[in-house]
Amino acid sequence: MGELSRREALTVARIVRVNHAGEFGAIRIYSAQILVARHVWPDCVPSLSEMLGHERQHCDAFRAAMPARNSRPCRVMQFWSWGGWLLGFFTALLGPQGIWACTAAVEATVHRHLDDQLNYLAERDRGLHATILSIREEELAHLHHAEEQLPAQGPLLRLLRATIAVATGCLIWLSTWGDSVRMARALRAARLS
Ligand SMILES: [Fe+2]
Ligand SMILES: [Fe+2]
C-alpha cells in the first residue's frame, strides 16, 4: 500500500464525509420513527432503538476517521438533519410497514455504497476498509430485519420503497453538494481501470 495520489486522497476524504453525513441522517430517521412509534407502534421501538445505537456508533467512527484523512463534516448537515427527520416521521405515520419499508430502502442504498467503497479502499486505506467492513455487517442486519417484517411485496409497497430510495438519493446528493456523485464516479473509474 503506497502513498495515495492527491486524487485518491480526495476520494477517500469524500468517502468519509459522505458516510458521516449518511450515518447522521440515519440517526435522524430512526429518532423520528421512535418518537412516533413510542405512541402508536410500541412493538417496533426495541428494534429501532437498537439500530439507532448502531447508527450513533457508525457516525462516531466516521467522525473519528476524519482528521487523519483531511476530511470535515459536510457544510450542509442541516439538509440531512431535517430531510432524515421528515422521512422518518412520515414513514412512521404510515405504520410498521412504512417504518420497515423505509429501513429496507435506506439500508439497501447504504449497502450498495459501502460495497463500492470497500472495493476501492482495499488497496488504499486498510484502516478505513476495516471500519467499513464491520459497519456493513450491522447495516446488513438492519436490512434483513426490515425485510423479515415486510410481507410479500405488493405494488404499493414496491412504490413506497422506490419513492424512499429516490428521496434518499436526493438527500445524499443535496447534503453533500454532489460530493457523493463525484465519489461514485471515482469509484467506478477505479473499478474499470
Ligand atoms: Fe449506519
Ligand atoms: Fe443502518
Q: Are 78 and 25 in contact (CB under 8 A)?
A: no
Q: How far is the CA of 188 from the centre of ligand 1 (A)?
A: 23
Tens digit of each residue's pLDDT (9 = 90 or more) over 1-44: 568 898 889 889 988 988 998 899 999 999 999 999 999 999 99
Predicted confidence at residue 1, as pLDDT, reads 53
Which of 155, 192, 179, 134 lies closest to 12, judged by CA?
179
Instruction: State how many domains the chain has.
Output: 1
- Other C-beta atoms lying within 10 Å of the C-beta of residue 130: 11
Q: Which SS3 state, helix, strand or coil, does residue 48 take?
A: helix
Is the pLDDT at 56 greater than 70, yes or no?
A: yes
What's the CATH number where 117 sits?
Answer: 1.20.1260
Mean pLDDT of the chain: 89
User: Tell me, what's the pLDDT at 156?
Assistant: 82
The DSSP secondary-structure symbol of 150 reads S
Q: How many beta carbons lie within 10 A of that of residue 64, not counting itself?
A: 12
pLDDT at 138: 94
Residue 169's domain comprises 6-192
Q: Region 113-129: what's the mean pLDDT? A: 91
Q: Is 82 inside a domain boundary?
A: yes
Residues 71-107: pLDDT tens digits?
999 877 887 888 899 999 999 999 999 999 999 988 8
Q: What span, in angstroms and rounded, lies between the C-alpha atoms of 42 and 40? A: 6
Tell me, yes or no, whether 165 lies in a domain: yes
Is 106 among the domain residues? Answer: yes
**Ligand that lies nearest to the alpha carbon of residue 142, given by its number in the listed order:** 2
Q: Is residue 1 part of a domain?
A: no
CA of 169 to the centre of ligand 2 (A): 15
